[in-house]
Amino acid sequence: MSALKIHFISGSDIERMALTDDEIVGAVEKSLLAQGQGQVVIEPREHLIPDPSFNGHFNILRGYIAPLDMAGVKVVGDYVDNYKVGLPSELALITLYDPRTGVPRAIVDCTEITCMRTGALTALGAKHLAKKKCKVLGHLGSRGTSWWNVVLLDNIFDFEEIRVNSRRPESRNDFAKRLSERLGKEVKAVETSEECLVGADIMVEATRLTTPEPLLKTEWVTPGTFVVPYGTISAVEFSLTDVMDKIVVDDWGQCKGGKFGSLRRHVDEGKLTEKTLHSELGEIVAGKKPGRENDRERILFWHRGLSLNDIALASLIYDKAREMGLGAQVDFH
């Protein structure tokens, strides 16, 4: 057997690539288009809980994208208390493979990829499902993925007002300060979820709860609002889906199973079903289903985060690493 090498790409390598907002969103949109055209294989995510006392778990995501000729497996740790020891709540690796031979192509730090692709998915949902002229963004949560939610949404809408809220004042204040510097406009840190969300055209719920708590109230969702709830533990009221004109997900197979997710109870108790679901986002991107059809529709987009989005972004990074001479070739066999 001839020698095999595998490309290792670190987080600092990715930082040096300086990916643009459009590159990030474009890569994820390609994965949605391939999904909508039936050119992918996606397996249900698996969870590993080493010990409940550790207050965290691992997610294992797997998939294949035919147009990219790439298969991949991501393992991401989700540990709520990591901030206490100076670590991100989510740390991840993705391995990329030749789908024809099984030969490993790359090992990539997927921590920032996870944040980027989540923000891109939120932004792409808004591109197709929010009103064209959204002026106010309300964002709950300052977890790792929150940064790219706000940055990539603002890249599309150039909001007049952005409000952020999270449970710890030091987190939300720092989050708002860093975003203000990045975006060149004021981002307001507010004390309550009500101050954050009431009157917002787009509401994003990306909290880090340990037990369910209704931080996003159904009565705040007025005609025309676009809502994205994707916290691991639900922060919405059970009645939220009752007021929606359309409910869209990234992948129904991922949403209807597992033990986590913002609308887990809605699925388990039959409020959200395949019949009440409008579509998957990939179907809208591929032109098979309509997105927003008027400015008064209340639309909810629930995304769990797909291996396909990780693989597409990691594939872009793999290509750029080879072009730019970044990363390291490691002996595999």
pLDDT tens for 60-98 read: 999 999 999 999 999 999 898 898 999 988 899 999 999
Distance CA 146, CA 96 (A): 26
Q: Number of structural domains, the chain?
A: 2
**What percent of the chain lies above the pLDDT cut of 90?**
80
> What pLDDT, on the 0 to 100 scale, is given for residue 175?
95
Is the distance from CB of 258 to CB of 252 less than 8 angstroms?
Answer: no
Distances in whole angstroms, Cα of residue 328 to Cα of each of 35, 108, 150, 164, 324: 31, 11, 32, 39, 12
Is the distance from CB of 164 to CB of 231 less than 8 angstroms?
Answer: no
> What pLDDT, on the 0 to 100 scale, is given for residue 1?
58
Residue 223 domain boundaries = 121-305
> What pLDDT, on the 0 to 100 scale, is given for residue 256?
80
* 180 and 105 within one domain: no
* 318 and 272 within one domain: no
DSSP state letter for 37:
T
Distance CA 312, CA 296 (A): 33
pLDDT at 333 > cutoff 80: no
* 59 and 24 within one domain: yes
pLDDT at 246 > cutoff 80: yes
> What pLDDT, on the 0 to 100 scale, is given for residue 325?
97
> What pLDDT, on the 0 to 100 scale, is given for residue 117?
96
Query: Which CATH number is 139's domain given?
Result: 3.40.50.720
> What pLDDT, on the 0 to 100 scale, is given for residue 221?
98
* 291 and 313 within one domain: no
Q: What is the mean pLDDT of residues 16-37?
A: 97
Q: What is the mean pLDDT of residues 196-216?
A: 91
* 100 and 18 within one domain: yes
- Reported confidence tier of residue 3, pLDDT bands at 50, 70, 90: confident
* 230 and 106 within one domain: no
Distance CA 8, CA 6 (A): 6
**More confident: 71 or 43:** 71
* 314 and 297 within one domain: no
Query: Which CATH number is 317's domain given?
Result: 3.30.1780.10
The pTM for the full model equals 0.92
Q: What is the mean pLDDT of residues 160-167?
A: 96
* 251 and 125 within one domain: yes
**More confident: 118 or 3:** 118
* 184 and 324 within one domain: no
* 70 and 31 within one domain: yes
* 217 and 140 within one domain: yes
Buried b / exposed e across 47-72, counting CB within 10 Å, b at 16+? eeeeeeeeebbbbebbbbbeebebbb
**Structure tokens of 69?**
């000729």
- What are the tens digits of pLDDT across the range 290-325? 999 999 999 999 998 899 999 999 999 999 999 999
Q: What is the mean pLDDT of residues 201-230?
A: 93
* 72 and 211 within one domain: no
**What percent of the chain lies above the pLDDT cut of 70?**
99
- Reported confidence tier of residue 2, pLDDT bands at 50, 70, 90: low
- What are the tens digits of pLDDT across the range 256-299? 877 777 888 888 888 899 999 999 999 999 999 999 999 999 99
Q: What is the mean pLDDT of residues 191-198?
A: 97
